[in-house]
Amino acid sequence: MEKYAWTAKIKEGKKEEYIKRHNEIWPELVELLKSAGVCNYTIWADGNTLFGYYECEKGVEYAARVQAESPVVDRWNEYMKDVMEMVMDPVTGAQPLLVKVFTLD
């Protein structure tokens, strides 16, 4: 199974709102992510720095394409832009994939 990891920043003073919005994640977004093969999705925060990780049952390329083509994801990104700063990959329309440098099995 392919893995996907990304980083972003929470805007100053917006951490509680960021967490609140994720606690109230839209059912249609959850459905879209699952249809894209996204599973085991977790986001961690270190101060205002975010680290997200998920696994892609249908591959990273497929998951990125489904998300990039989704109006639900577009609406979520618009909804979240007042609480977070996220650079998007101009090719995939998703967060840039981090480069894995180590694995311990």
Q: What does the block give as tokens for 31?
A: 């459905």
Cα distances (Å, whole numbers) of residue 82 to 10, 79, 92, 99: 9, 7, 22, 27
Q: Is residue 103 predicted with pLDDT exceeding 80?
A: yes
Q: Which residues pair with 50 in a beta bridge?
A: 8, 45
Confidence class of residue 97 from pLDDT cuts 50, 70 and 90?
confident
Task: Please spell the DSSP secondary structure of the chain, one letter per residue.
Answer: -EEEEEEEEEPTT-HHHHHHHHHT--HHHHHHHHHTTEEEEEEEEETTEEEEEEEETT-HHHHHHHHHT-HHHHHHHHHHTTTEE----TTTSSPPPPPP-----
Catalytic residue set: 22
Domains of the chain: 2-85 (3.30.70.100)
How much is the pLDDT for 90?
Answer: 77
Q: Is pTM beyond 0.85 here?
A: yes
How much is the pLDDT for 78?
Answer: 93
Query: CA-CA distance, 25 to 33, in Å (whole number)?
Result: 11
Percent of the residues in the chain that have a pLDDT greater than 90, as a whole number: 77
Contact yes or no for 50/44 (Cβ under 8 A): yes
How much is the pLDDT for 96?
Answer: 77
